[in-house]
């Protein structure tokens, strides 16, 4: 069958649902397509929290600097700037939507410290921050009238004259193929962590979004930027939340030594995480990429 909408979003994780909500708020007829029920999206796995410079001694510039430094100065600085400037309002907005963030005894929003952050600016809901955000956003998109095509598998972007005009999707329950036509498409189909082993990612994280875009002719960039999490358990791929380090946990080597004193003596366990393309250069303000 053919379905017509103004905007089709592939992916109903935090990215896709937030984009769908914004488009719907601006009057568009929006469809969102997900191969799993939206609240089973992998955003569900995010435990530790979400960063924003809301504290009275904090600033978005400091958040942006920490983020760029943590990326070894390789991040897209314009994108970081937008993210850090908008994050405080997003936290407040999520609260107003119904996310019950942790609060201090005096009723103010509470924070924890995350790796690479010069301030405790991580807002959280116990160890289920991603789930809390996901469920709240799902409520909001339903309220905003977004049409949800769940357990539909996007197979091909529908491209007309070089512009994405929708998606071909397989309805998993019936095996039928459908065309969702739209004026604009958003590809928010998540990451490809399952290309690696072990991985903290769920089995659904197979990089379909990259493949959809690539097959439609879009170049992919920064594909080497895959992150190692320092507290992934070898073997199982089970993730111990970053909050453990924020709350004071130590990383020890096989000899029981806090080995980070050799590499990051100032920040120790609160050093920013690494990605595959960088070697560690301690606390000296960044390392060179190894491509």
Ligand X SMILES: Cc1cc2nc3c(=O)[nH]c(=O)nc-3n(C[C@H](O)[C@H](O)[C@H](O)COP(=O)(O)OP(=O)(O)OC[C@H]3O[C@@H](n4cnc5c(N)ncnc54)[C@H](O)[C@@H]3O)c2cc1C
Does 273 qualify as catalytic in the annotation? Answer: yes
**Does 231 sit near ligand X (CB under 6 A)?**
no
Candidates 89, 84, 57; CA nearest to 71 is 84
Query: Residue 67, interface with ligand X (CB under 6 A)?
Result: no
Catalytic option among 181, 194, 273, 274? 273
DSSP states along 226-266: -EEPTTBPTTT-PBPPTHHHHTTPPP--TTS--THHHH-TT
Distance from C-alpha of 265 to C-alpha of 259, rounded to nearest angstrom? 9
Task: Output the CA–CA distances (angstroms, integers) from residue 177 to 6, 14, 168, 183, in the order listed.
Answer: 20, 26, 7, 20
Figure out which of the listed residues 8, 9, 15, 137 binds ligand X, where binding follows CB under 6 A: 15
Minimal distance, residue 138 CB to ligand X, in Å: 10
Q: Which is nearer to ligand X, 46 or 264 (CB)?
A: 46
Stretch that binds ligand X, among 21-29, 174-182, 198-206, 261-269 (CB under 6 A): 198-206
43 belongs to the binding site for ligand X (CB under 6 A): yes
User: Which of residues 19, 21, 24, 50 is near ligand X by CB under 6 A?
Assistant: 50
Cβ-based nearer residue to ligand X, 80 or 189:
189
Closer residue to ligand X in complex, CB, 19/260 = 19
48 binds ligand X (CB under 6 A): yes
SS3 85: helix
| Min dist. Cβ of residue 47 to ligand X (A) | 5
Residues 216-238, buried b or exposed e (16+ Cβ, 10 A)? eeeeeeeeeeeeebbbeeeeebe
Task: Report how far residue 189's alpha carbon sits from residue 83's, in angstroms, rounded to the nearest whole number.
Answer: 20
Give min distance, CB of 202 to ligand X, in A.
8
Query: Pick from 19, 23, 39, 49: which binds ligand X (CB under 6 A)?
Result: 49
What is the torsion angle, in degrees rounded to the nearest 10, for the CA atoms of residue 64, residue 66, residue 71 and residue 77? 20
**Residues in the site for ligand X, rule: CB under 6 A?**
10-16, 33-36, 38, 41-43, 45-50, 129-130, 153-154, 188-190, 200-201, 204-205, 208-209, 239
Q: Catalytic amino acids?
A: 273
């Amino acid at each position: 069958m053919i379905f017509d909408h103004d905007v089709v979003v592939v992916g109903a994780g935090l990215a896709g649902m937030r984009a769908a909500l914004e488009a719907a708020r601006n009057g568009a007829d929006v469809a969102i397509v997900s191969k799993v029920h939206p609240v089973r999206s992998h955003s569900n796995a995010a435990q530790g929290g979400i960063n924003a410079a809301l504290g009275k001694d904090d600033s978005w510039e400091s958040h942006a600097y920490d983020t760029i430094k943590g990326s070894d100065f390789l991040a897209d600085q314009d994108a970081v700037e937008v993210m850090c400037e908008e994050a405080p309002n997003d936290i407040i907005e999520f609260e107003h939507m119904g996310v019950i963030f942790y609060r201090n005894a005096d009723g103010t929003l509470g924070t924890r410290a995350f790796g690479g952050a010069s301030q405790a600016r991580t807002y959280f809901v116990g160890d289920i921050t991603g789930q809390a955000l996901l469920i709240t956003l799902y409520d909001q998109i339903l309220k905003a009238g977004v049409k949800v095509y769940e357990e539909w598998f996007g197979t091909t972007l529908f491209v007309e004259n070089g512009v994405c005009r929708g998606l071909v999707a397989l309805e998993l329950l019936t095996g039928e193929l459908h065309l969702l036509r739209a004026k604009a498409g958003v590809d928010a189909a998540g990451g490809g962590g399952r290309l690696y082993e072990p991985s903290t990612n769920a089995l659904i994280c197979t990089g379909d979004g990259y493949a959809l875009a690539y097959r439609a002719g879009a170049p992919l960039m920064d594909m080497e930027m895959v992150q190692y999490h320092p507290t992934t358990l070898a073997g199982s791929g089970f993730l111990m939340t970053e909050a453990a380090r924020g709350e004071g946990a130590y990383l020890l080597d096989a000899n029981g030594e806090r080995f980070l004193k050799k590499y990051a003596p100032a920040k120790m366990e609160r050093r920013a995480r690494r990605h595959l393309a960088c070697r560690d250069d301690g606390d000296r303000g960044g390392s060179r990429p190894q491509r």
